[in-house]
Chain A
Amino acid sequence: MSMAEDGGYNFAYLDEQTKRMIRRATLKAVAIPGYQVPFASREMPMPYGWGTGGIQVTASVIGPDDVLKVIDQGSDDTTNAVSIRNFFAKTTGVRTTEDTAAATVIQTRHRIPEAPLRAGQILVYQVPIPEPLRFLEPREIETRKMHALEEYGLMHVKLYEDISRHGEIATTYAYPVRVSGRYVMDPSPTPKFDNPKMDRMAALQLFGAGREKRIYAIPPHTEVKSLDFDDYPFDVQKWDVPCALCGATDSFLDEVVLDDRGGRMFVCSDSHFCATRRAEGHRGADPTNADAFLMEAAGR
């Protein structure tokens, strides 16, 4: 029996006033793509930094007929995803799922699902530091002005410095993007590999930062461009090998340490995507079968 049903807490934990306040902030965010809207973040039963922003956004938009998926690092089974999914199961009683296509609301930490999302779905991102300029300019007063006046020279200065120092842009996650040609935004600590998925995504993308008290959004079918230089264009990570379990060559791979002799294997970070492919019959060369692994290593 859910907490809501036994009368202890309101549906989705937050009271209706609070949800309304958060939805108002969210609507404002949707109306100004990429702009960080301040909101009066509530103290939640999880620590700040552990997803309270995403949780508050989800709590405000979720309804009894929604189907919820929660992932962390791309997987449904990581501890924090389990904990958050249980929280919503207890406080709303909604159906939960691991199936990306079946979900209506997906709350995520640090990954975008590999399977393209469709209209009618909502992707809620957990955001630790919403301000893309924060590490270049620690003062909130200054960064607000920079956004208001579109003074983003400093952002490109950082990219310039990377190239002059390392020969390439050295940002690999939380890679800044420009939304609808106007606001520069931090996509949350998703790997840059995921940035292209944000561009003109058919689903609604909502971003919640509880500790920093900001909500921002990208409406469906909105242009999202990663910052770069014309002669140093944005590019994504690539792996030398496909997923060891399902053979996928186009998904983000996690590195798994097999032993203390440098044994490694790479598997899809998106656990449901990988499981779906395996169910369809795709296979990779699983290197825990040691011979296969050694043959492959020798061949490289």
Chain B
Amino acid sequence: MYVAVKGGEKAIDNAHRFLAEERRGDPEIDEIAVDQIAAQMSLAVSRVMAEGSLYDRDLAALAIKQARGDLIEAIFLIRAYRTTLPRFGYSDPIDTASMAIDRRISATFKDLPGGQILGPTFDYTHRLMDFALAADGQPPAPAPMAETEVAPNMPRVLDLLGDEGLVERAAGTAIDDADAPVGDLTREPLEFPTSRDMRLQNLARADEGFLLALGYSTQRGYARNHAFVGEIRVGEVAVELVPEELGFAVDIGDIEVTECETVNQFKGSKTVPPQFTRGYGLAFGHSERKTIAMALVDRALRCRELDEEPVAPAQDEEFVLSHSDNIQATGFVEHIKLPHYVDFQSELELVRRMRRDAGAAEAMAAE
């Protein structure tokens, strides 16, 4: 006697327990600690904070541990947690010009006020596997201190160019008013056509791989915008909030951010003298690849305001912004694992019937 399979609940419970076992792995091996992840895998933590849209290193590290190292799964945990947090208000815009610099470089000038500060970068390493790391050797000798301190308040390269009028103004949109209302992507659904504030919010939490590929495509000629890195800065900035009751700003903490400003294809006409245009990237933590790609895509998506014909995928705002969120993407891509047998049954019935009818027609024609 056929008995419909029951016990889905039990199966799920057991699956979860198996999962927990796999996550822990061999009990003979030390368990990874959250603080180890936070301290020694800080670039993973940066990505999870950036795409999770939540600045909390320990939480991101915990998410990475719980997700067994799957960063998108960790980002999902952070996003879901973020939904439950109470919102107190909006901070003032952070002032990256007064960043406590760890790293600051510019490709547009050999030298500039404040200097080229390389910071902790993979850039010039030779990508050779360091087997000494596997051997759990001694901690490395501390890096030597420089003779002079890093200058506080280094001026932004793009501000310097801007002073000469060589590059368009920072806002770069029709809304130049600093007090104009800013949308909130997490509170309103994105509607097309978008405004730049919503676009940048979407890009700030967008999947790094997706933006990387799109940015790359612009360089290879799919709407090339001749980008130079005006400046990349990595370091800490203060976050300030003006509580209603106080009426003045209070410093609620420091966060590490990465900011990338690109200088792009200049525009001009007979009546308007030429100026460089710009792209912008900003992310939590140390996230260079993300911010450079973001700046390239930001510039590509500004085609409408800059009167450029959209011809390439990176310029298609509906395409880019609808598919940039990896939590939405992974949810929908992976959902095809769910049972779909009712709809499949409907298709089966149709195809079987059509094949039967075609077979009958052929048989009749043969007679």
Q: Which residues of A are interface residues toward B (Cβ below 8 A)? A: 9, 13, 15, 38-45, 47-50, 52, 72-75, 77-83, 86, 109-111, 128, 138-141, 166-167, 170, 172-174, 189-193, 211, 213, 237, 244-245, 252-256, 265, 267, 269, 271, 286-289
What is the predominant secondary structure among interface residues of chain A facing chain B? loop
**CB–CB B318/A128 < 8 A:** no
**CB–CB A48/B12 < 8 A:** no
Query: 8 Å CB contacts to A: which residues of B69-112?
Result: 76, 79-80, 82-84, 86
The contact of B2 among A42, A244, A255, by CB within 8 Å, is A244
User: Smallest Cβ distance from B323 to chain A, in angstroms?
Assistant: 11
Instruction: Specify the chain A residue showing the minimal Cβ separation from B186.
Output: A40
Q: Mark B307-327, 1 if CB is under 8 A from A, else 0.
A: 000000000001000100001
Q: Which residues of B are interface residues toward A (Cβ below 8 A)? A: 1-2, 4-9, 11-12, 76, 79-80, 82-84, 86, 186-193, 318, 322, 327-328, 330-335, 338-343, 345-350, 354, 357
Tell me the bound Cα distance from A252 to B79 in angstroms: 38
User: Smallest Cβ distance from A40 to chain B, in angstroms?
Assistant: 5
Q: A254 and B341 in contact (CB under 8 A), knowing A140-B318, A141-B193?
A: yes
Tell me the bound Cα distance from A139 to B318 in angstroms: 7
User: Smallest Cβ distance from A258 to chain B, in angstroms?
Assistant: 8
**CB–CB B345/A255 < 8 A:** yes
User: Smallest Cβ distance from B321 to chain A, in angstroms?
Assistant: 11
List the A side residues contacting B82 at CB < 8 Å.
43
Tell me the bound Cα distance from A277 to B338 in angstroms: 28
| 16 contacts across the A-B interface (CB closer than 8 A) | A39-B189, A48-B332, A49-B335, A77-B5, A77-B8, A79-B8, A79-B339, A80-B339, A111-B342, A140-B318, A172-B347, A173-B343, A174-B343, A191-B343, A255-B345, A265-B2
The contact of B188 among A40, A44, A141, A252, by CB within 8 Å, is A40
**CB–CB B327/A166 < 8 A:** no
Instruction: Specify the chain B residue showing the minimal Cβ separation from A39.
Output: B189
**CB–CB B342/A47 < 8 A:** no
List the B side residues contacting A289 at CB < 8 Å.
1
